[in-house]
Amino acid sequence: MRLSKFDFHAPKTISEAIELLQSKGPDARLMAGGTDLLMKMKHGAVKPPCLISLKSVPGLNAIRFDESAGLTIGATALLSEVAEHPDILRHYPTVAQAARATANVQVRNMGTVVGNLCNASPAADNPPIHMAMRAVVLIEGPGGKRELPLDEFFRGPGVTALLPAEIVTGLRVPRMPVNAGTAYHSLSARGKLDCNAVGAAVMLTLKGKICEDVRLFISACGPTPLRGRKAEEMVRGKELTEEIAAKAGAEAAEESLPITDLRASADYRTEMVAVLTRRVLKEACQMALTSQPA
Amino acid sequence: MKHVITLNVNGDPYTVSVDPSQTLNEVLREELNLTGVKLGCGSGDCGACTVLMDGRAVSSCLTLAVEAEGKDILTVEGLAPSGEKLHVIQEEFIDKGAIQCGFCTAGMEMSALHLLNKNPSPTETEIREALSGNLCRCTGYAKIVEAISSAAQRMNDASERNQ
């Protein structure tokens, strides 16, 4: 399994990278960690004539945390760096957990969180929790800079809202609201390494015992991670009892659009959406309760 | 177009002319003759090709050689530079019988070193997690975990003695 021939460019600035994307045509591919792209190239699924690596752009791997602005994850920040970053572990524990759940040690030392998003796999580990936490994609292109909520970024398997020659330079994740909790769970046949069969992530905000706001996202059960709006409605404005959590799970299962493939059957996925939804809701609620001042 | 890269492998500087399509694994094995680095699946799943790049365990099969420019690479050959005195991790693999066919061993040992550099006293679970990207098809995991655990112990004892 050798790679077919290609030209390689390692621009030093984002504007240089944008110019290269424009001049090399639509088949040129942008690369961060390369763990997905190089594998697809080895299997012959894509044959780009030109690779543009972002790893030589100084500062693009930065992870920054600010009390008011929140967290910014640069495009080339490694999955392992996000999984182990002290500010992320403290203020965004579920973001760290999702990064840590991605692939294996070696891939986490090469691959990036932003690359995992741009790859736009519906089964990817990182999108659901970032969508639940209202993350915003930072984009730069020939038309300048723009920002897009992550829940508007995915358009289908492998397809994003990026326009030609646009580059995702980073991801901004706002601070978690006071009295909020987050959770993410996924299931796969082997438990590590392999692609997920189902995933669910949630951010839930409490007022007393009442669930004031909730954002639930289900992955690997549709062309993109899906928002569980009916399940959210079931929970919003209520106390999260066992009964409400079970009803929300049933709604999320109803809303999901799973298919049968080598990772799991549609029936299994539907049942597991209900189970994982229940689980993440209860876990996030517990986290929100313990974060409230007594 | 070929690119001329300079990299440091097991403490020695090398300048190599590489095609962008060559992986670090191909360059280490074919240009530098470091065949202790294995090539298993070629897709980042099996860990047989694991090397340390600037101290991090990476799959050399999914790393472009051209991106190793200026990096410090450590392969299994670098664990025992004299070629005679083995590294503690290697000695424990032998003592505990953690080697069967040997194909996964180099990668396992590099992952073990990466773990012990970060976490000198890992629990069994932490060792197993650190090896989740290294497959052994002889099914010898129990002894590999044992070997790493006792290598950790020996390395800690040695560093205490040196203090």
Among candidate residues B53, B77, B101, the one where a domain is terminated: B77
Interchain pair B23, A3: CB under 8 A: yes
**What pLDDT, in 10s, does the model give residues A186-236?**
998 777 677 888 999 999 999 999 999 999 999 999 999 999 999 999 999
Among candidate residues B42, B77, B112, the one where a domain is terminated: B77
Residues B92 and B68 in one domain: no
**What CATH number is associated with residue B116?**
1.10.150.120
Q: Does B50 touch chain A (CB under 8 A)?
A: yes
Q: Which two tokens stand for residue B21?
A: 């399509």
C-alpha to C-alpha distance for A220 and A273, rounded to whole angstroms: 10
**What pLDDT, in 10s, does the model give residues B118-163?**
999 999 999 999 999 999 999 779 999 999 999 999 999 998 888 7
Which SS3 state, helix, strand or coil, does residue A74 take? Answer: strand
Mutation target among B49, B64, B71, B148 for the A interface, most CBs of A within 10 A: B64
Domain boundaries, chain A: 7-52, 63-173, 180-291
Q: How confident is the model at residue A1 (pLDDT cuts 50, 70, 90)?
A: confident
Name chain A contacts of B4, Cβ cutoff 8 Å: none
Nearest to B20 among A2, A8, A39 (CB): A8
Residues B71 and B93 in one domain: no
Residues B132 and B69 in one domain: no
Domain around B146: 88-157
pLDDT at A294 > cutoff 60: no
C-alpha to C-alpha distance for A238 and A241, rounded to whole angstroms: 8
| A288 to A13, A91, A208, A294: CA distances (angstroms) | 41, 13, 10, 12
* A180-291 topology per CATH: Enolase-like; domain 1 (3.30.390)
C-alpha to C-alpha distance for A55 and A68, rounded to whole angstroms: 28
- Dihedral of CA atoms B99, B102, B103, B106 in degrees, nearest 10, equals 70
Interchain pair B47, A106: CB under 8 A: yes
pLDDT at A124 > cutoff 60: yes
Among candidate residues B18, B47, B77, the one where a domain is terminated: B77
Q: Does B149 touch chain A (CB under 8 A)?
A: no
Only one residue has tokens 């890992």, namely B122
Name the minimum distance, in Å, from the CA of A242 to any CA of chain B.
Answer: 32
- Return the pLDDT at A293: 60
Residues B49 and B107 in one domain: no
| A214 to A58, A172, A177, A190, A224: CA distances (angstroms) | 37, 19, 11, 30, 19
Residues B111 and B72 in one domain: no
Q: How confident is the model at residue B3 (pLDDT cuts 50, 70, 90)?
A: very high
pLDDT at B98 > cutoff 80: yes
pLDDT at B102 > cutoff 90: yes
Residue B118: inside a domain, yes or no? yes
**What pLDDT, in 10s, does the model give residues A58-103?**
999 999 999 999 999 999 999 999 999 999 999 999 999 999 999 9
Find, among A2, A143, A274, the residue nearest to B42 by Cα: A2
Q: How far is CA A161 from the centre of its chain?
A: 15
C-alpha to C-alpha distance for A36 and A284, rounded to whole angstroms: 31
Interchain pair B133, A106: CB under 8 A: yes
Return all residues near A252 (Cβ < 8 A) that are at least 6 apart. Answer: A200, A216, A218, A228, A230, A231, A273, A274, A277
Residue B163: inside a domain, yes or no? no
For B55, which residue in chain A has the nearest alpha carbon? A109
- Contact A158/A37 with Cβ under 8 angstroms? no
Return all residues near A261 (Cβ < 8 A) that are at least 6 apart. Answer: none
- Contact A184/A129 with Cβ under 8 angstroms? yes
DSSP string for B7-68:
EEETTEEEEEEE-TT-BHHHIIIIIS--TTS--SSSSSSS-TTEEEETTEEEEGGGSBGGGG
- Contact B129/A189 with Cβ under 8 angstroms? no
Residues B109 and B153 in one domain: yes
Under CATH, which number does the domain A63-173 receive? Answer: 3.30.465.10
Give the count of alpha carbons within 13 A of A42, CB side only: 18
Interchain pair B44, A35: CB under 8 A: yes
ipTM associated with this complex:
0.96
Longest dimension (CA), chain A: 63
* A7-52 topology per CATH: 3.30.43
Which H or E run includes A30?
strand A29-31
Distance from first CA to last CA of chain B, Å, rounded?
Answer: 52
**What CATH number is associated with residue B39?**
3.10.20.30
- Count how many domains chain B has: 2
**What pLDDT, in 10s, does the model give residues A132-163?**
999 999 999 999 999 999 999 999 999 999 99
Residue B162: inside a domain, yes or no? no
Residue B83: inside a domain, yes or no? no
